[in-house]
Amino acid sequence: QQKVQQSPESLIVPEGGMASLNCTSSDRNVDYFWWYRQHSGKSPKMLMSIFSNGEKEEGRFTVHLNKASLHTSLHIRDSQPSDSALYLCAAMNTGGLSGKLTFGEGTQVTVIS
């Protein structure tokens, strides 16, 4: 069964600093990665997705994907207290039923002033 591993488990970042989160899938059929952010007590919201090798940037968030190693990373620059949340990586198989996501255990990010 596919596993999605995330690291680190938790991260403390000073306000204005950079947070770097990692995610790797064990399934060679995975083609799509999603990053979700979940604030405490709330439901997850999609942050970014990546399907192609390389890098994608949206504002303060950058995501990288290396399809050969099935590794994706999320980088948050100029971190703000509002970025404190659980960040979940999810992977989807090639041609899989849309929404059949496998989630990792998440990285808990805390931004301190």
Partner 1 sequence: AQTIHQWPVAEIKAVGSPLSLGCTIKGKSSPNLYWYWQATGGTLQQLFYSITVGQVESVVQLNLSASRPKDDQFILSTEKLLLSHSGFYLCAWSLRTTNTEVFFGKGTRLTVV
Interface residues with partner 1 (CB under 8 A) are 31-32, 34, 41-46, 49, 51, 88, 90, 92, 95-106
- For residues 61 and 75, is the Cβ–Cβ distance under 8 A? yes
Asked whether 102 and 91 are in contact (CB, 8 A), the reply is: yes
Q: Which is nearer to partner 1, 75 or 96 (CB)?
A: 96
**CB-wise, 77 or 86, nearer to partner 1?**
86
Cis ω before 14 (30° cut-off from 0): no
Nearest distance, CB of residue 39 and partner 1, angstroms: 12
Distances (CA, A) of 2 to 39, 59, 100: 26, 31, 11
Q: Which is nearer to partner 1, 7 or 77 (CB)?
A: 7
**Paired tokens of 25:** 């899938």
Judge contact between 79 and 111, C-beta under 8 A.
Answer: yes
CB of 106 to partner 1, least distance (A): 6
Please, what is the minimum distance in Å from the beta carbon of residue 16 to partner 1?
27
Q: Which is nearer to partner 1, 77 or 108 (CB)?
A: 108
User: Please, what is the minimum distance in Å from the beta carbon of residue 78 to partner 1?
Assistant: 25
